[in-house]
Amino acid sequence: MAQGALLEASNLSVTRGARIVLENLDIQINEGDIVCLTGENGSGKTTLIESLIGILPINSGQIKWLSGDGNSVIVRDHLGARRKPFPFGLTLQSDGICGEEKVRERLEAALKVTGLNLSQSEIMSSLDEWGLSHRSEDRVSQLSAGLRRRLAVLSGMAPVLFCETPRIVFLDEPSEGLDSFSKGLLKGWIEELSANGNAVVMATHDEDVISCSTRILKVDGGEISETKNKIELSKFNERKLSIATSSDSIRSFFSWGVSIERRNPVDTIGKATPAILALLLSYSILGRTNIPDLELDLFSALILAPAFISAIVSPGMIRRLNEEDCGKWWSAICGPQFRPATSILASSIILPIPLTYLSWFVLEGLMTGDINQSAIYWLWLPSLVIVDISCASTALHMLVSDLRRSSAAAASLLLIVLVWPFIQVVDALSMILDNGMTWEFSTSSPLMSLIFASVISMMVWVVAIFIPDT
């Protein structure tokens, strides 16, 4: 990369379906640049930003970022490679904020995920500057559209403005929905970012915002034409800048997800409720039916059914990530680790084991045949494999949610493939109930059935997680 360059894209081509959106583009973003992307609606401004930050696959070329150690890193290439870019700031056109987040919490998360740890007083000072401090403990869903947009813009720019190392901030239609006060702050912060050696890349139709750019790139018909623009940067009060630590974005993502779920446990309740209903239905069936000991498969299936149902229910976390492109924001910041992390965070990890033991204690007294009583000590083992099934199920739900019309896609048809590993788990529990747990590596041992079920689940998980990201 050339000296002073923070990002370089060469021979960049991107298609959406059969339409060529960008074709053979060469772009370089340097320290201090204020780059404005202009063009008609649908010309490809947002596509270009999402390609540069690595969340969209490209058809040709490669995108390089300058890393913290001074070396260049290929973030995307036409072969499908994707790597996490150097920490940056991002404001999406749809805000990218979940309504369950609190105002202060959102800004704090945006800073921490990029390796910055500002004090609470500094965070509150920034919120106050943008007229948000009096709403710091409110949920984002309680904000007006204008205040929500202020928070999105602030959260995108702060991780760059307060870092002493030059970074890039991407802003997609940042002035949309802002009042004159907020627009003045936006322009002031953009100029301050440039004065500190940072780069700003923004897509906008706003002439006021365009006027404060140093480079204007017009996107039209897949090509770009550039116009230089000279501006005079004012003197700014020196802010306290922080040295960025190595950012652990995945840990921040997990902390965010756990915090949101604790505040409003819709995910846990949404998975536990149908599981409990299945248990009550099984209790009703067994209370009226005598199941002889030769039908241990049916009894095993009823024991494991609640855990399996909790595993395949659509996770509430995915719905949260789809809200206002929240998941797209986290995907850009976290890089290729986002999808595997989400498949674990959103899956039913805790519920299968307690649900299986609850099913056992409720249904075991209704079983008329003889069963091996030592099976209770091994119930955790098939439940553990159902956790693998849950991760695969979450990956399939994510695959469907990525589609343009995810609500029209029959996700339940994809979940049919998970019946296969569930049958293997049922067979394993049936063998444990009949003869106890054995550790033989034979086709008729419960251990091999469990391993087989886990391998099938893992194969489904790999296909659903990694193929869409290439």
- Does residue 322 share a domain with residue 446? yes
**Residue 392 CB coordination number (10 Å):** 29
- Does residue 338 share a domain with residue 256? yes
- Does residue 313 share a domain with residue 460? yes
How far apart (Å, rounded) are the C-alpha atoms in residues 411 and 116?
A: 39
- Does residue 206 share a domain with residue 268? no
How far apart (Å, rounded) are the C-alpha atoms in residues 205 and 40?
A: 8
Domain of residue 429, residue span: 249-466
Whether 129 is covered by a domain: the verdict is no
- Does residue 180 share a domain with residue 280? no
How far apart (Å, rounded) are the C-alpha atoms in residues 304 and 208?
A: 62
- Does residue 202 share a domain with residue 279? no
Overall average pLDDT of the 4-19 stretch: 86
pLDDT tens column, 40-98: 988 889 999 999 998 888 999 999 998 766 778 888 888 888 888 889 999 999 999 99
Work out the pLDDT band at 201, boundaries 50, 70, 90.
very high
Total of domains in the chain: 2
Structure tokens at 390: 């849950």
How far apart (Å, rounded) are the C-alpha atoms in residues 226 and 124?
A: 39
Overall average pLDDT of the 112-121 stretch: 90
Whether 218 is covered by a domain: the verdict is yes
Whether 438 is covered by a domain: the verdict is yes
Helices then strands, each counted (H, E), the chain: 17, 10
Q: Which amino acid is at 339?
A: R
pLDDT tens column, 207-239: 989 988 999 999 988 888 888 877 766 656 667
**Residue 231 CB coordination number (10 Å):** 12
Question: How much is the pLDDT for 270?
Answer: 92
Q: Which amino acid is at 122?
A: E
How far apart (Å, rounded) are the C-alpha atoms in residues 279 and 304?
A: 9
Question: How much is the pLDDT for 228?
Answer: 85
- Does residue 410 share a domain with residue 291? yes
- Does residue 401 share a domain with residue 270? yes
Whether 62 is covered by a domain: the verdict is yes
- Does residue 57 share a domain with residue 181? yes
- Global model pTM greater than 0.85: yes
Whether 287 is covered by a domain: the verdict is yes
Whether 152 is covered by a domain: the verdict is no
Contacts of 349 (CB under 8 A, 6+ apart): 387, 390
Task: Please state, rounded to an integer, the average pLDDT across all residues of the chain.
Answer: 88
pLDDT value at 408 more than 60: no
Whether 207 is covered by a domain: the verdict is yes
- Does residue 297 share a domain with residue 172? no
- Does residue 223 share a domain with residue 369? no
Question: How much is the pLDDT for 246?
Answer: 66
Overall average pLDDT of the 391-401 stretch: 90
- As beta bridge partners, residue 22 has 14
pLDDT tens column, 271-307: 999 999 999 988 887 777 665 554 788 889 999 999 9
Whether 121 is covered by a domain: the verdict is no
- Does residue 74 share a domain with residue 27? yes
Q: Report the CATH number at residue 28.
A: 3.40.50.300
pLDDT tens column, 303-338: 999 999 999 998 999 999 998 899 999 999 999 999
